Structures are given as structure tokens and as C-alpha cells.
């Protein structure tokens, strides 16, 4: 059964990557996974790196590997702001594998509780999420 | 007077230079268009981020002022100066006006008894600051032609860290903002601490929008709490400010280079005209000389 559609926009600092009417949006916030349907109550959420899914219909799904960002749903419009959004087919696994191992080394070398450590761990989470989408 | 051949050689070399400056002008024009598109692409994201930051800050209320990046240091002693320049020259006064403005600001800070810590992006700024004998606390090069968001983030991370650790008590940024292909404006902005007014204050022209949003705002769900969201939004706000400066500076650089190369090509054209005139005179003089010799020879025979 077709669901009610609502406009959704995905923006990155490098430009708009998606702007269409969709039936459902699914992503992951700092608290947990979230699915947004038309008429959802207004929300402002902080997003973790994960796979962003935009359902044009039950079977037609647009997927992106997303970095950290924010999701705002207000007045029946969804707005996703993410630092990076990469289509799975454009995702270069080799690059991110190198980056992941670099980040792991950095995390090991950094002092505990330091800003570098936190930064490296954030990078690890991001690259792991990207690679999970690409596989 | 230079002989005909000398002048001819000069013309040939000026023509070669003109070819190069013309090519550089066209390359700069093409890159300028791309850089302009990136400014356009960034705008909706930056605006949306600012709106969200304001919304979260209002929801967080008094909690917001406790965030380290929003609170002023009591004793201001050291000011971080971030100068945004290009990696290359041949763009008129583009880089030097930034360095000059930076040095002037540092002088003014010095009069107030404040110490400047230098940070620079772009090879030109880095090299001219070190040439003038300033110690750089941070230098970032190699991306001025095409800055990525990650570049802005690494700069922001360093500055934020220094601010939180108390190594810097204020951070200011000097860059060329992009007005039009012909004009870049030297812009001086405060990055840290972010003034409460920037985030919570209502900006002109957005009041109507603010009004629309105030209705459902009370019912908005926050995941996690607004304070937690704000903790990440605020550094992002700094990152986006730096990124915007980098992107604008890139567009400004190509604009300045295009203008500089256009006038260089025009100057080359003028020089070629002058030299051509000179060459024709030299040729005419040689011909006159020869005729006089022929006439004198004929007269001698008769």
C-alpha cells in the first residue's frame, strides 16, 4: 500500500545530494535508529554515521553512506544535514580502508581521554559505517 | 638605437608571455565559475545549520551559555589570527592585502597589550609570514585551489582545542570575501568565542520565518537533549564558518588572478604595439640609410 509522501532534502557542505518526495526516511540518531513517515512530530536529532535510506516506495530505495549530521523534521518536511553523503556505488572502498587503518593507528597512539583520541575514534566510527554500506 | 633584429626578438618574447597570461586568464575564469558554484552549493547547508543552532540554543536556554565555545575568557591575553591566503601568486594584491591586514590587526592588538598567535592557510601567507619573522602556530597548505570540508575541520579542530585549553583567548579570521569576480573584500571576523548574539539573536530578514517556527517549537522532540545537540552544533558552526571563508577565498583568488592576468595581457599588447613601432622606425632608418648611400654612390660616379 502506498504511503503518504513528504518532501525530503539531503544537504552537504558541497551541495544538495537529494531532494524528492519520499514515503519514508530511515537513519540512525545518537539515541538509536529512527524511521520517519509523513506526519511525524517535529524533531531535531543528531545523526551518527550510518546508512541513510530514502524510500521512494517499498521497493525503490535510494541509499547513501552518511557521516555525522542532523535531521530536522518540521511542517511535514524532512531536512537532513550531513557532512558527507556518498552513494554506495561511488564509494571507494580502498580509500576508506586506508583511512580506517590510519585512524586506528592514530587512536592507539593518542593519549587516553585526549581530543586526538576522540577525533580518531569518531573517524573510525565513520569509516566503519561507510565500509558497511559499501559492502 | 636597437637594431631591427633585437626589437623583433623582444616582440617575439612579449608575444609568448602574452600567450601565457591569456591562457592563465582563461583557466582562472573557468575555475572561478566552479568556485562560484561551490559557494552557491554551500549556502543552503550553512543557512540550515545556523537555523538549527539557533533553535537548539533557544531550547537549551541557560545551559547554552555554559558551553566553552560560547563563553568568553575572563582574561584575554592571546589572540589567534587565522589568515586565509592562496597557494599561488600572480593574482595582484590578493595575498599581500591579507598579510598586510593581519600585520595591522596584530599591531592594534599589541597596542591593547594582547599577544597574537599566527595561523595561516595557503602557501603564500605561510611563506610571507615566516619571511617577516613571525612564528606560525599552525599552517595549512596545499588545498587553496579546492578546499574540502575536511580541511576546514582540521583547522577548526586545532583552533577549538587551543581555545578550550586556554592557549588562545580569542580567535579572529582575516580572509578575502568574494563580492564579484572583480572585487574581493578583506574581511575580519571573530571566530571564537561565538557571541551569544550570533546564535540566539534574531537576524534581520528572518523574523517572519522565526515567527512561523515559534508555534510548533515547544513541541519539538530532541534526540538527544538540546544541550547535547548544541555541543556538536557549535563546533560545526565554527567549521562551516572556516569552510565558507576558504571557499570564498578560493573564488576571490581566481577572480583576482583573472583580473591580474587580463591586465597583464593588455599591457603585453601595448608593449607589442610600442615595439612594432620601434621596429618599423628602425627598418625605415635602415632603408633611408641605404638609399642615401646609393644616391651618394651614383652622384660620385656622374
B223·A43 Cβ contact <8 A: yes
Answer yes or no: do A22 and A77 share one domain. Answer: yes
Which 8-state DSSP code applies to residue A35?
A: E
Q: Say if A1 falls within a structural domain.
A: no
CB-based contact B222 A31, cutoff 8 Å: no
Decide: A116 and A110 in contact? Cβ < 8 Å.
Answer: yes
Residue A50 falls within a domain, yes or no? Answer: yes
Q: pLDDT confidence of B200, banded at 50, 70, 90?
A: low
Using an 8 Å CB-CB cutoff, list chain B residues near A12: 45, 149
Query: Residue B200 in contact with residue B57, Cβ under 8 Å?
Result: yes
Q: For the segment B132-145, what is each residue's pLDDT rounded down to a tens digit?
A: 988 889 999 998 88
pLDDT of chain A, 135 residues: tens digit per residue: 568 899 999 999 988 999 999 999 999 988 889 999 988 889 999 999 999 999 998 889 999 999 889 999 988 999 999 988 888 888 888 888 888 888 888 888 877 777 777 778 888 888 888 888 876
Nearest CA in chain A to B225: A45
Torsion angle, alpha carbons of B93, B145, B48, A85, to 10 = 180
Does residue A69 sit within a domain? Answer: yes
My answer on whether A74 and A11 are in the same domain is yes
Which residues on B lie below 8 Å from A79 (Cβ)? Answer: 48
pLDDT band for B98, please (50, 70, 90 cuts).
very high
B116 CA to chain A: closest CA distance, Å?
24
Give pTM, 2 decimals. 0.84
Domain range enclosing A75: 6-86
> What band does B223 get if pLDDT is binned at 50, 70 and 90?
confident
Number of other residues whose CB lies within 10 A of the CB of residue B207: 9
Q: Which residues of B touch A70 (CB under 8 A)?
A: 49, 52, 229, 233
Regarding whether A96 and A82 lie in a shared domain, the answer is: no
The answer to whether residue A124 sits within a structural domain is: yes
pLDDT confidence tier of residue B205, bands split at 50, 70 and 90? very low
Smallest CA–CA distance, residue B135 to chain A, in Å, is 24
Of residues B48, B226, B232, nearest to A79 (C-beta): B48
Q: Are both A35 and A60 inside the same structural domain?
A: yes
Q: Where in chain B is the domain with CATH 1.10.287.80?
A: 4-26+263-297
Are the Cβ atoms of B45 and A81 closer than 8 angstroms? Answer: yes
CB atoms within 10 A of CB B104: 12
DSSP character at residue A92: -
CA distance to A118, B110, B114, B121, B128, per residue, from B107 (Å): 37, 5, 9, 20, 17
CB B157 within 8 A of CB B147: no
- Of the listed ranges A122-126, B9-13, B63-67, the one predicted with least confidence: B63-67
Integer angstrom CA distances of residue B38 from A13, B43, B251 = 9, 9, 9
The nearest alpha carbon in chain B to A123 belongs to: B150
A108 and A52 both lie in a single domain? no
pLDDT at B230 over 50: yes
Inter-chain CB proximity A115 and B161 less than 8 Å: yes
What's chain B's Rg over C-alpha atoms?
A: 29
Nearest to B219 among A29, A42, A72 (CB): A42
Nearest CA in chain B to A43: B221
Give the model's pLDDT for residue B174: 94
Give chain A positions within 8 Å (CB) of B232: 46, 68
Q: State whether B224 and A31 contact (CB < 8 Å).
A: yes
* 8 Å CB contact of B224 and A79: no
Give ipTM to 2 decimals: 0.84
Decide: B98 and B125 in contact? Cβ < 8 Å: yes
To the nearest whole Å, the CA of B247 is away from the closest chain A CA by 10
Residues 6+ apart with CB under 8 A from B292: none
Partners of B44 on chain A (C-beta within 8 Å) are 11, 16
> A69 and A19 in one domain?
yes
B26 has a pLDDT exceeding 90: yes
For position A75, which CATH number holds?
2.60.15.10
Residue A14 and residue A29 in one domain:
yes
- CB–CB of A81 and B52 under 8 A? yes
Q: How many domains does chain A have?
A: 2
- Its CATH class, for the domain covering B28-257, is alpha beta
Mean pLDDT of B224-236: 87
Contact A54, A20 (CB under 8 A): yes
Domain with CATH 3.40.1380.10 in chain B: 28-257
Three-state secondary structure string covering B110-178: HHCCCEEEEEEECHHHHHHHHHCCCCEEEEECCCCCCCCHHHHHHHHHHHHHHHHCCCCCEEEEEEEEE
Fold of B4-26+263-297: Helix Hairpins (1.10.287)
pLDDT > 50? residue B39: yes
pLDDT at B295: 93
Average pLDDT, chain B: 87
CB contact under 8 A, A44 and B223: yes
Amino acid at each position: 500500500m502506498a504511503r503518504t509522501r513528504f518532501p525530503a532534502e539531503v544537504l552537504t557542505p558541497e551541495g544538495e545530494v537529494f531532494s524528492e518526495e519520499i514515503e519514508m526516511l530511515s537513519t540512525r540518531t545518537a539515541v538509536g535508529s529512527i524511521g520517519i513517515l509523513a506526519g511525524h512530530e517535529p524533531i531535531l536529532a543528531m545523526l551518527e554515521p550510518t546508512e541513510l535510506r530514502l524510500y521512494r516506495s517499498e521497493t525503490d530505495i535510494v541509499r547513501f553512506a552518511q557521516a555525522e549530521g542532523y535531521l530536522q523534521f518540521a511542517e511535514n518536511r524532512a531536512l537532513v544535514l550531513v557532512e558527507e553523503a556518498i552513494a554506495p556505488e561511488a564509494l571507494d572502498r580502498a580509500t576508506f580502508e586506508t583511512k580506517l587503518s590510519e585512524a586506528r593507528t592514530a587512536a592507539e597512539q593518542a593519549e587516553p581521554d585526549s581530543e586526538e583520541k576522540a577525533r580518531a575514534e569518531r573517524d573510525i566510527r565513520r569509516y566503519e559505517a561507510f565500509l558497511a554500506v559499501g559492502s | 638605437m636597437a637594431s631591427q633584429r633585437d626589437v623583433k626578438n623582444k616582440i617575439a618574447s612579449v608575444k609568448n608571455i602574452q600567450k601565457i597570461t591569456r591562457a592563465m586568464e582563461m583557466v582562472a575564469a573557468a575555475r572561478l565559475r566552479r568556485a562560484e558554484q561551490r559557494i552557491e552549493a554551500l549556502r543552503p547547508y550553512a543557512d540550515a545549520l545556523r537555523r538549527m543552532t539557533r533553535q537548539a540554543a533557544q531550547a537549551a536556554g541557560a545551559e547554552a551559555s555554559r558551553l566553552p565555545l560560547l563563553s568568553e575568557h575572563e582574561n584575554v591575553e592571546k589572540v589567534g589570527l587565522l589568515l586565509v591566503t592562496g597557494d599561488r601568486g600572480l593574482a595582484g594584491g590578493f595575498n599581500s592585502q591579507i598579510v598586510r591586514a593581519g600585520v595591522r590587526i596584530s599591531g592594534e592588538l599589541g597596542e591593547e597589550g594582547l599577544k597574537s598567535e599566527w595561523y595561516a592557510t595557503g602557501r603564500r601567507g605561510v611563506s610571507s609570514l615566516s619571511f617577516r619573522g613571525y612564528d606560525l602556530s599552525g599552517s595549512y597548505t596545499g588545498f587553496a585551489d579546492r578546499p574540502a570540508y575536511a580541511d576546514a575541520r582540521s583547522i577548526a579542530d586545532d583552533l577549538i582545542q587551543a581555545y578550550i585549553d586556554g592557549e588562545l583567548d580569542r580567535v579572529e579570521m582575516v580572509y578575502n570575501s568574494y563580492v564579484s569576480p572583480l572585487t574581493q573584500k578583506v574581511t575580519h571576523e571573530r571566530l571564537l568565542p561565538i557571541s551569544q548574539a550570533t546564535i540566539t539573536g534574531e537576524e534581520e530578514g528572518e523574523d517572519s520565518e522565526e515567527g512561523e517556527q515559534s508555534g510548533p517549537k515547544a513541541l519539538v522532540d530532541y534526540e538527544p537533549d538540546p544541550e547535547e545537540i548544541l555541543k556538536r552544533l557549535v563546533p560545526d558552526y565554527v567549521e562551516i564558518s572556516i569552510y565558507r571563508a576558504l571557499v570564498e577565498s578560493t573564488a576571490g583568488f581566481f577572480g583576482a588572478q583573472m583580473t591580474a592576468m587580463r591586465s597583464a595581457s593588455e599591457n603585453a599588447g601595448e608593449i607589442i604595439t610600442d615595439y612594432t613601432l620601434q621596429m618599423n622606425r628602425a627598418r625605415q632608418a635602415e632603408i633611408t640609410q641605404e638609399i642615401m648611400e646609393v644616391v651618394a654612390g651614383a652622384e660620385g660616379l656622374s
